[in-house]
Amino acid sequence: MRLTVPLLAVLTAALATPACKGEEKKDLLAFPDGYQPQTADLTFNKERLEAFNAMSDDERDAFVKELQGQAGQFKGQAVLISGNGLGETVEDYQHGDYEVVAHTPDGVLYEITIEYKIFTNRAAGKALSPHRPLEFTGTLIDLRYESTSKPRRLYVRVKADTLTTITK
């Protein structure tokens, strides 16, 4: 009788535990495969950010001026942090009536991360999924690179032409 209760408990636990089928477990919180800020064809992927990082201050200024002159040519990917509407009295309202704040949580190159302020219309901004990766194209408004701070950061402001959540 003394052995029956522990033996019964062991057998019940063994039968109640599901068997492993050898399948890989999918990380439910992982970003979709389409979110690749380091390797995708973006304005600041790992390769292009490395070239930008190696430029002198004058070369960077010239590069930024060139990007600002190319309407609709800026491409980026980031993770949505927040979004909010802009009133007509706000200075940035001229770029769009909705502001999306996004960032690359992991360094694109070394520890360098990118913080984005993306301006769009209210309908496009409200349609985005919170804390999910997004992809956008647009026109560069302004860029500020903090090369002396640790970790280094790139602050980018873009007027978006297209703005979508990455789902695949």
CATH code, 67: 2.40.50
The answer to whether position 18 is within a domain reads: no
CA quadruple 106, 110, 112, 116: dihedral positive or negative? Answer: negative
Looking at residue 11, its pLDDT comes to 60
Looking at residue 100, its pLDDT comes to 96
Domain with 95, as residue range(s), is 46-165
**pTM as predicted:** 0.80
User: Which stretches of the chain drop beneath a pLDDT of 70?
Assistant: 1-3, 5-23, 25
Looking at residue 16, its pLDDT comes to 59
Looking at residue 149, its pLDDT comes to 85
Question: Looking at the 3D structure of the chain, how many domains does it have?
Answer: 1
85: helix, coil or strand? strand
Looking at residue 85, its pLDDT comes to 93
Looking at residue 110, its pLDDT comes to 85
Looking at residue 130, its pLDDT comes to 86
Looking at residue 30, its pLDDT comes to 82
